[in-house]
Chains A and B, each alone.
Chain A
Amino acid sequence: MPVLSPTETTVIRGITLRKEPAREGCFSVVKDNSKLSFNADPDYEKGKDMSEGNRRNRIHTHMHNEMQSIEIAAQCLVDFPDAPWELRMELARQCWDESRHSALLLRRLKEMGGHKGEFPVMHYEWYITGVQDSLAARLAIQNRTFEGGEMDILKVHAQMWRDEGDAVTAELLEGILSDEIHHVRFANIWLKRLAKDDPRVLLKVLTGISFMKWVSQVFAPAPEEVNSSGAKVTDTVHSSPTNVDDRRLAEFSDQEIAELLRQDGFGAIVPRPA
């Protein structure tokens, strides 16, 4: 992949990231969590506000994230023309999957009386993934980490919608989750294959993951930071326990799943490796 030129990058909070993909004027693109507009109604459990406006905001954000995922997979096809053909086929298929997801969520948003551009959006995943100069690092960050995390979140969210009596949205999220499992799985399979062929790939992956962690720290909201809706940013999010069954389907090893469960606070009941 050729080195990104200064016209292809942007600097936010002192970090050089990939410049944003193009957006229609109806979208308000922000560079900071505090400019997002999630609510945190105290009547709901922390981070699980399901008031009407926040429901649309959730769908809108998810729709935009799926669109961002198409762009990330498509950019991989452009930036790495020499990648193995079978891997390029997986990325091409991912482009279609993410397109369907985004279209489904746009349709649902409209059914709920919403419209594209209704809420502010961010390009967080694109910024971090797009600047990586190896396909292995991009797969490790976007597919294995971000989409892996999405598997955990989607499981919780499908239940949240079901609990609120919206079985249509719950089923939609279940369908999306089922597709995302394969995006994580093919990344896991190819990362193993690429690393076996060339162990230096692991160094690229580690560098990419360290970069991602650093950016996450820099972008993390301050403890009392308030967003554009007046909600404390930390009150708009909730943790999602590891989705063990789907992580297993996505070919995470038992050891990796155990590590995630330890991070969730289940260390005492997770068996130690022999």
Chain B
Amino acid sequence: MGLSVQDRGRTVATFRHIHVEMMETLAQWTPSAPEMEVKLMLGEHIWDVAQNADALGKRTRELRLPLQHSIKPADPYAGLLADIRKEADTARRLGSFYDVLLPGLESRFRAYLDQTDELLDGPTVRILQQIQDVQSRMMKQSRKLRAELPELGKVDGEWLKALTRRESQIASVVA
């Protein structure tokens, strides 16, 4: 048996909250990152993430919740998002966002897609698949930028691994 309407609504609204938070994080980093090329990439990704949040927010109404409804994620995940947002160093910002947060979300989307009925919940399935495509491009762009400007890729590998562990240890983003 797939997920209930309520389960689906709560998950989609939580994903929306995460995307709005990610949009604000990228927006906050744009004036405070010194590197011009980083600002230009973040400017593009703010719009990408906003569109993802918007698509999820339109789906919430179809799942008996208000239009553009958000639900705050589980505390450990909200804490992770808040800590990443506070990062001040550009290399750590890029590492935490593009190497931890986005791949982690990708896994969570896959888990949701494995659980839900792809016919009954078709609209959510389509939205998540589209977001996966967008996020895959965003990660690729960040890798390309860091290959061009190697200083931006200089991040403590142990710190990044610990952050990845922290993310993966959060069983569910839904509160």
Q: Secondary structure of the A side of the interface?
A: helix
Q: Is the CB of A85 within 8 A of B43?
A: no
How many chain-B residues does the 8 Å CB contact rule pick out? 27
Contacts of B32 in A (CB 8 A): 21-22
A67 is an interface residue with CB less than 8 A from chain B: yes
A95 touches B27 (CB 8 A): yes
Do A92 and B36 form a contact, CB below 8 Å, given A78-B24, A85-B57? no
**Stretch among B44-52, B121-129, B155-163 lining the A interface:** B44-52
A70 is an interface residue with CB less than 8 A from chain B: yes
User: Which residues of A from 44 to 71 have beta carbons under 8 Å from B?
Assistant: 67, 70-71
**Contact of A22 with B34 in the complex, beta carbons under 8 Å:** yes
- A77 touching B24 by the CB < 8 A rule? yes
- The complex places the Cα of A122 from the Cα of B46 at a distance, in Å, of 25
The yes or no answer to B7 lying at the interface (CB within 8 A) is no
Instruction: Judge if A188 is at the interface, Cβ distance under 8 Å.
Output: no
B43 touches A98 (CB 8 A): yes
A214 CB-CB contact with B under 8 Å: no
**Closest beta carbon of chain A to B13's beta carbon, Å:** 14
**A residues in contact with B30, CB < 8 Å:** 70-71, 74-75, 95
Contact in complex: A71, B39 (CB < 8 Å) = yes
Q: Are A23 and B43 in contact (CB under 8 A)?
A: no
A106–B36 CB distance below 8 A: yes
Residue of A nearest to B54 (CB): A89
Name the residue of chain B whose CB is nearest to the CB of A117: B36
CB contacts (< 8 Å) of B48 on chain A: these are 96
Quick check: A92 and B31 within 8 Å, CB to CB? no
Q: Which residues of A contact B42 (CB under 8 A)?
A: 74, 95, 99
Let me know if A102 is at the binding interface, CB within 8 A. yes
Q: A89-B54, A95-B43, A96-B46 are in contact. Are A74 and B27 (CB under 8 A)?
A: yes
A24 on the B face (CB < 8 A): yes
Chain B positions within 8 Å of A88 at CB level: 50
CB distance B35 to A74 under 8 Å?
A: no
A-binding residues in B (CB < 8 A): 23-24, 26-28, 30-36, 39-44, 46-51, 54, 57, 68
Chain A contact residues, CB within 8 Å of chain B: 21-25, 67, 70-71, 74-75, 77-78, 81, 85, 88-89, 92-93, 95-96, 98-100, 102-103, 106, 116, 126
